[in-house]
């Protein structure tokens, strides 16, 4: 007898029925598992699309805000009044700049030595010779920028500066303004991505510029977030980044602006994949319920099948031992067990008649 057949024959009826029903149930359970995988793939693409759309939208707003400020500076730097380097002629332009753009905290000009020529706030002149953006302009940069904590305001500000070019194409001075980041912060704070979705904007050095979390941007220092998990995990294709933060799973997308800033849009994994997690829980309940039902049905069927078979087996053994007065049950059943019972009953009667003939001869 082959080894496999030997193993199978050693199983009880209950075990055989349970095994058969488990194999039958495997197909729908396997189908459910496959559908769960398909749902996860679909949700992953949807989540990635949402995160990408939001991050690209924020990047577009940040770039538009940047371009608008740069254009305003460059256009005003080329005006005759600005080229005059006369405080009286420059002052109205600077005040108009500060009045037109409500995020401009201070607009000012300086000579090549860094000393103010004119200011939009009418405060005493200051020197900016030690500022990085001033040095960049004097070194020939067409646009200089620096993220700083304003000495007057004490808040994070973006300083943009452009050269004022004289008639001989030499740098006659600098036009700059300090821009508050409230417009960018408001755009980031307005991100609508469930209850846990939020966005961050980091400068090229990884410092936090704007955040959707209230109080995340410190007003006395620029928070270093260059080690943010989203920056350490590779972003592959159209799939979102997944990482742990504050002991929670997070999905995110990152995008770089043309200025080198990084936009991070993230959402808690549990919220993003809530439909999948709910479906998985339901699937577990269904699978566990199905397995319990299978065991109960297998136990019930095995008892209904095993009991009469055991009784018929006992009757057959008694017949083999010459005990022919045993009553054969189940002969009225219409199934295979009934047919077996009737066959054993015929055997019992045949053996009994054979014994009676044998006794008659002796």
Q: What count of Cα atoms within 13 Å lies in the side-chain half-sphere of residue 99?
A: 8
Residue 350 burial by CB count (10 A; 0-12/13-18/19+): exposed, middle or buried? exposed
Task: Say if residue 91 is in the same domain as residue 54.
Answer: no
Q: What is the DSSP letter of 265?
A: E
Domain check: are 264 and 299 in the same one? Answer: no
261-272 residues labelled b (16+ CB within 10 A) or e (exposed): bbbbbbbbbebb
Question: Which residues contact residue 94 at a Cβ distance below 8 angstroms, ignoring those fewer than 6 apart?
Answer: 107, 108, 109, 118, 119, 120
The answer to whether position 13 is within a domain reads no
Count the domains in the chain.
3
Regarding whether 267 and 333 lie in a shared domain, the answer is no
Q: Please give the pLDDT value at position 222.
A: 74
Q: Note the helical H segments in the chain.
A: 3-9, 13-77, 80-83, 87-100, 132-138, 182-189, 229-232, 269-272, 274-320, 336-361
Greatest mean pLDDT among 133-137, 310-314, 318-322, 348-352 = 133-137
Residues 128 and 61 in one domain: no
pLDDT reading at 87 higher than 50: yes
In-domain check, residue 21: no
Counting beta carbons within 10 angstroms of the beta carbon of residue 192, is it exposed (0 to 12), middle (13 to 18) or buried (19 or more)?
A: exposed
Q: What is the pLDDT of residue 150?
A: 67
Sheet holding 208-211, edge to edge: 208-211, 198-202, 262-268, 248-256, 241-245
Query: What pLDDT does 265 receive?
Result: 93
The pLDDT value recorded for residue 149 is 77
Q: What CATH number did the domain enclosing 316 receive?
A: 1.10.8.500
pLDDT digits over 210-252, tens only?
887 654 544 445 788 889 999 988 877 778 899 998 889 999 9
In a domain, 291, yes or no: yes
In a domain, 10, yes or no: no
Where is the domain boundary, 211, 237, 272? 272
Q: What is the pTM of this model?
A: 0.69
Q: How far apart are CA 281 and CA 195, in angstroms?
A: 22
CATH number at residue 131: 3.30.450.20
Residue with the bigger pLDDT between 225 and 355: it is: 225
Same domain, 97 and 39: no
Domain containing 295 equals 276-361
189-212 pLDDT per residue, tens: 888 888 888 899 998 888 888 887
User: Could you tell me if 176 and 189 lie in one domain?
Assistant: no
Please indicate, yes or no, if residue 15 is contained in any of the structural domains: no
Are 162 and 90 found together in one domain? yes
| 152 lies in the same domain as 300 | no
Q: Identify the domain boundary among 180, 204, 238.
A: 180
């Amino acid at each position: 007898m082959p080894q496999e057949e030997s193993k199978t024959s050693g199983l009880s009826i209950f075990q055989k029925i349970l095994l058969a029903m488990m194999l039958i149930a495997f197909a729908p359970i396997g189908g459910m598992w496959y559908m769960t995988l398909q749902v996860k793939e679909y949700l992953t693409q949807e989540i990635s699309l949402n995160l990408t759309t939001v991050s690209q939208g924020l990047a577009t707003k940040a770039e538009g805000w940047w371009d608008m400020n740069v254009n305003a500076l460059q256009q005003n730097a080329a005006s005759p009044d600005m080229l005059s380097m006369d405080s009286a002629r420059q002052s109205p332009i600077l005040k108009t700049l500060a009045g037109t753009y409500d995020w401009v905290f201070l607009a000012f000009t300086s000579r090549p030595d860094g000393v103010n020529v004119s200011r939009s706030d009418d405060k005493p002149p200051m020197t900016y010779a030690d500022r990085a953006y001033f040095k960049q302009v004097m070194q020939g940069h067409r646009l200089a920028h620096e993220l700083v904590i304003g000495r007057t305001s004490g808040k994070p500000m973006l300083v943009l500066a452009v050269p004022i070019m004289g008639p001989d194409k030499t740098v006659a001075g600098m036009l700059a303004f300090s821009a508050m980041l409230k417009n960018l912060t408001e755009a980031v704070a307005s991100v609508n991505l469930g209850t846990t979705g939020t966005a961050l904007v980091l400068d090229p050095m990884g410092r936090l510029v704007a955040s959707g979390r209230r109080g995340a941007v410190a007003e006395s220092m620029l928070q270093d977030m260059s080690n943010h998990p989203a920056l350490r995990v590779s972003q592959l294709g159209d799939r979102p980044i997944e990482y742990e933060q504050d002991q929670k799973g997070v999905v995110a997308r990152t995008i770089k602006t043309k200025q080198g800033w990084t936009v991070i849009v993230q959402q808690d994994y549990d919220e993003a994949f809530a439909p999948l997690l709910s479906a998985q829980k339901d699937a577990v309940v269904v699978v566990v319920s199905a397995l319990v039902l299978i065991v109960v049905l297998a136990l019930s069927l095995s008892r209904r099948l095993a009991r009469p078979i055991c009784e018929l087996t006992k009757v057959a053994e008694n017949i083999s031992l010459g005990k022919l007065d045993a009553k054969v049950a189940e002969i009225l059943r219409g199934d295979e067990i009934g047919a077996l019972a009737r066959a054993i009953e015929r055997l019992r009667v045949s053996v009994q008649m054979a014994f009676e003939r044998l006794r008659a001869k002796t």
